[in-house]
Amino acid sequence: MLRPLQRRKIRRRLAPYLLALPALALLGLFAAGLVSGLMQSFGYIPAFGLTRFTLDYYRGVFADAQLAASVKLSLWISVSSTLISVVLGTLLCTALVRLRKVRGFTLQTVRLPIQVPHTVVALFTLCLFSQSGLLSRILAQAGLLTSQNQFPNLVFGSSGSGILLAYVWKETPFVAYFVLALMQSVSQHLDEAAATLGASPLHTFFSVTLPLSMPAILRAGLMIFAFSFGAYELPFLLGATSPKALPVQAYIEYIDPDLRHRPYAMALNGIILLLTLLLAAAFFLVTEHTAKKLGGDGHAT
């Protein structure tokens, strides 16, 4: 017979694992999905009679000019939209904290883009920046254009500018919202101290508020980079017929009736996976580093 105290001890030891069980099942599905994709990218698809592991499909991706262009386009869109969104989002967050608008109507407005799906963002990007969009109409009214074709093909051009603008609209508020909690607490505790010691507001921002908010800014940046590198909706709805962004190209290969295209789809996904896992590692390092400095565990401080 176990004494009640012992029973309690055992229960406390087992409880977290039991509580985590459903999440572990879901994460198991997640991991299985990734492993299944990776195996297929190495050419292991027994259902198609392919059982030899090979790196040929990855080599094939980089040898194919069109697929290589996809990789480059996706990198360009993600790098530029992330950099712009992080800078603008931090600025927006600073303004919110400075004016103490950390709740209420202003914050709700800033939160609004989180509720607007990418597909709808694509629609108004068209309404604004396509050759028949509002911007081209305004230029025409000003007498700068006489036909739609004179307006640069921002949305469906190969530069991916439309996709980039759409991501910036969606992600800038996300960065601001994500960083808000940390920057607010930093500013609450330290701004006044710095001001008392004679620092100018600008100096306080660059030497106190910004560096201390950096972990959250970095993590927001890593999240939106990973997202924009792998998301399907915007580059599917906007962008040129060629080159296509990685996830769009991957899905095209995936649904190709010729099943020999399948491993190429998975190799493109493998590239996305490799890059996002590296970002995930960076994300966790930033989290851990912050946790050590703050003496917590990066969550729940």
Please list every residue from 126 through 145 that binds another protein, using CB under 8 A.
Answer: 126-128, 132, 134, 136-138, 140-141, 145
CB of 203 to another protein, least distance (A): 11
Rounded Cα gap, residues 278 and 176, in angstroms? 24
Q: Measured between alpha carbons, how far is residue 91 from residues 168, 173, 175, 288 in Å?
A: 13, 10, 10, 26
CB of 165 to another protein, least distance (A): 10
Q: Dmax over Cα atoms in the chain, in whole Å?
A: 92
Q: Measured between alpha carbons, how far is residue 69 from residues 22, 231, 276 in Å?
A: 41, 17, 19
Choices 55-63, 65-73, 79-87, 222-230; region in contact with another protein by CB under 8 A: 222-230
CB of 59 to another protein, least distance (A): 20
Window 263-292: residues binding another protein (CB under 8 A): 265-266, 269, 272-273, 276-277, 279-280, 283-284, 290
Residue from 180, 194, 218, 240 in contact with another protein (CB under 8 A):
180
Residue from 79, 107, 190, 252 in contact with another protein (CB under 8 A):
107
Residue from 32, 55, 63, 83 in contact with another protein (CB under 8 A):
32
Exposure b/e, 79-111, CB count within 10 A at least 16 = b: ebbbebbbebbbebbbebbeeeebeeeebeebe
Residue from 10, 114, 193, 259 in contact with another protein (CB under 8 A):
114
Residue from 98, 153, 158, 190 in contact with another protein (CB under 8 A):
98
Choices 49-57, 58-66, 79-87, 115-123; region in contact with another protein by CB under 8 A: 115-123
Rounded Cα gap, residues 75 and 81, in angstroms? 10
CB of 300 to another protein, least distance (A): 4
Q: What are phi and psi of 50, to 5 degrees?
A: -100, 120
Q: What are phi and psi of 152, to 5 degrees?
A: -60, 145
Helix (H, G, I), strand (E, B) or coil at 158: coil
Dig out the tokens for 125 from the structure: 């990007």
Q: Measured between alpha carbons, how far is residue 235 from residues 6, 78, 199, 244 in Å?
A: 58, 11, 46, 7
Number of residues that bind another protein (CB under 8 A): 111
Window 191-220: residues binding another protein (CB under 8 A): 200-202, 215-216, 219
Choices 36-44, 54-62, 65-73, 79-87; region in contact with another protein by CB under 8 A: 36-44
Cβ proximity of 81 and 167 under 8 Å:
yes
